[in-house]
Amino acid sequence: MSIVKTRRSTAERSMGTLLVPRVTAISLPLLISLNAVYPLSVLAVTVTFKGALYWETVGKEIPLDIEAAL
């Protein structure tokens, strides 16, 4: 059981180290654009998920909303 736990922790650590710089690099322009379009509660949801699939869905939805806002 201890080996499984260590494998899971190392996998989670490696995924965390890979996702954190990418999420922060993507989130900075998104936070600026989302503040004008979406409420802060949606920003909290995007920060908690940190998933590539969720970022893809948000990326598809954001340009439509920005074009509508412009």
- What are the domain boundaries of the chain? 22-70
User: What's the average pLDDT block by block, 10 residues per block, for the chain (70 residues)?
Assistant: 52 51 58 57 51 47 48
Q: What is the pTM of this model?
A: 0.17
What is the C-alpha to C-alpha distance for residues 44 and 24, in angstroms, rounded to an integer? Answer: 14
- A 10 A CB-CB count for 66 gives 13
**pLDDT of 31:** 62
